Structure 1
């Protein structure tokens, strides 16, 4: 931003007109909307986030498939144990599973173990079977709706392919996140012009004059997103 300061002059002028330089609003904008976005919501992160989202979908699908298989095997094992001449001394009570899984969990050992074990007085008819629990896990994974808990990452992954538009949306979302007027944030009415958003994207992404974006590019993104909502 320092080396390309001349390009940012019009942005600073717009900030002075809309926010002024007497308070902290312009500092909030530069620090939390501009610098933070440029440092942490890069095109590389956008690509990585998209890959993580696709992988999470596949992992949930695999869990759903494997849960069905495991549940069937657990049911089959119960039938053999209960009806055949052979049985295996395997886990069958949910509390036993939790207790075995928490052997190295000091918090469990200190605070939950005694209370949970007292519930073992209830017969198995009061508890779900292991296969039923596994099926619930599988059904939950199958219907999972993958969403981002980070608004800027969500904004950058709206489309299937990464582009400069992702970064434009991240800047916009950064502004929206910090619009809490009266609480040390940006005014609810604050809106940066298409030209200033384009300039910030060009500078923060270090785009050349040939590959840089203009106000029309940003305007098209904003109009497209507005129609989508």
Structure 2
């Protein structure tokens, strides 16, 4: 027999979804445009989601805990589509290229500055009026930055008593930037898996969802219990609704179970 909390859970979830969609889409400052269609799918397919909400309520996931979990359903659905992953991979490739270009450009600029100084020092016929001092460069770059003006500027002024021989040269700093090996780190395991995957798949959604659920399992009053777990049936329903799969392409509990085992074998440590 269902408790009153379980009976009322679907209505509470529907109300939360409608209120948050109104805030995000129709408020004075609309946000997260890509999530709006996912909200609408959960609202339109509410009947399919009702058993999920009752299951969550039976496990104490109501009110703020329910919304925090719904939010992860929404975000996973919005950003786990094939086109989103293609954009993610494109951003990663651009970051790799930018790191290489910055390194090359820094080294080239350092060599140009050194050559300029060499010509001026050897010739004796020319002079270029540029900023030599690192402290002056910092001061100029920080101009207009309220944090710099309010906290650091006065602290750095006494250092201006030291002449150029005490400071690293601008070219030397650029050489360091050019030699620096910048590693691109992934925010979570699901991002790393998506970047390294040969092709997009339904598994990508579950990687992201499991990571998001794991982040919520802190045991705090507003979050999920550390031992929180959803059934495979409920996970399948959430996936089908979030990604709007057609009737002939739905995932089921067996698919979710196989996916969980496969991800564990691949080293995904997120809990479910």
TM above 0.5: yes
Paired residue for 1:11?
Answer: 52
Which runs of structure 2 are paired with 1:133-212 in the superposition (5 Å)? 133-140=173-180, 143-149=181-187, 157=195, 159-212=197-250
Q: How many pairs does the alignment contain?
A: 224
TM-score by length of 1: 0.81
- 1:76-87 counterparts in 2 under 5 A? 76-85=115-124, 86-87=126-127
By percentage of residues, which structure has more helix?
2
Alpha-carbon distance in structure 2 between the residues aligned to 1:160 and 1:136: 35
Q: Is the 8 A contact 1:41 1:152 kept in 2?
A: no
Name the CA shift for 1:26/1:126 in 2 (closer, same or farther; >3 Å). Answer: closer
Distance 2:69 2:179 in 1: 45
d(CA) in 2 for partners of 1:68 and 1:96?
22
C-alpha spacing 1:114/1:2, structure 2 compared with 1 (3 Å): closer
Do the aligned residues in 1 keep the contact of 2:65 with 2:222 (CA within 8 Å)? no
Q: Name the structure, 1 or 2, with higher relative contact order (CA <8 Å, separation 6+).
A: 1
Q: 1:25, CA displacement in angstroms?
A: 7.2
The answer (yes or no) to whether the contact 1:156–1:170 under 8 Å persists in 2 is no
Counterpart secondary structure, 1:170 = helix
- Cα distance change on mapping 1:209 and 1:101 into 2, 3 Å: same
8 Å contact kept, 1:198–1:218? yes
Matched position secondary structure for 2:261: helix
Displacement of 1:96: 2.0
- After TM superposition, the structure 1 = structure 2 runs for residues 115-130 of structure 1, keeping only pairs within 5 Å, are 115-130=155-170
Deviation at 1:139, TM superposition (A): 2.9
Equivalent of 1:46 in 71, 85, 88: 85
Q: Superposition RMSD on alpha carbons, in Å? A: 2.9
For 1:228 and 1:139, locate their aligned partners in 2 and report how far apart those are by CA, in whole Å.
34
| Mapped partners of 2:177, 2:147: distance in 1 | 24
Following TM superposition, the consecutive aligned residue runs of length 4 or more in structure 1 with deviations greater than 6 angstroms are none
Bigger Cα displacement from structure 2, 58-67 vs 181-190: 181-190
Measure, in 2, the Cα distance between the counterparts of 1:27 and 1:161: 33
- Structure 2 vs 1, CA of residues 158 and 176 (structure 1 numbering), >3 Å: closer, same or farther? farther
User: 1:224 offset after TM fit, Å?
Assistant: 2.9
Query: Residues 35-60 of structure 1, C-alpha deviation per residue, up to 9 Å, x if partnerless?
Result: 3433x534243333222222111111
Structure 2: state its 5+ residue gaps: 1-41, 268-272
Cα shift at 1:208: 0.3
In structure 1, C-alpha distance between the alignment counterparts of 2:227 and 2:193, rounded to whole Å: 20
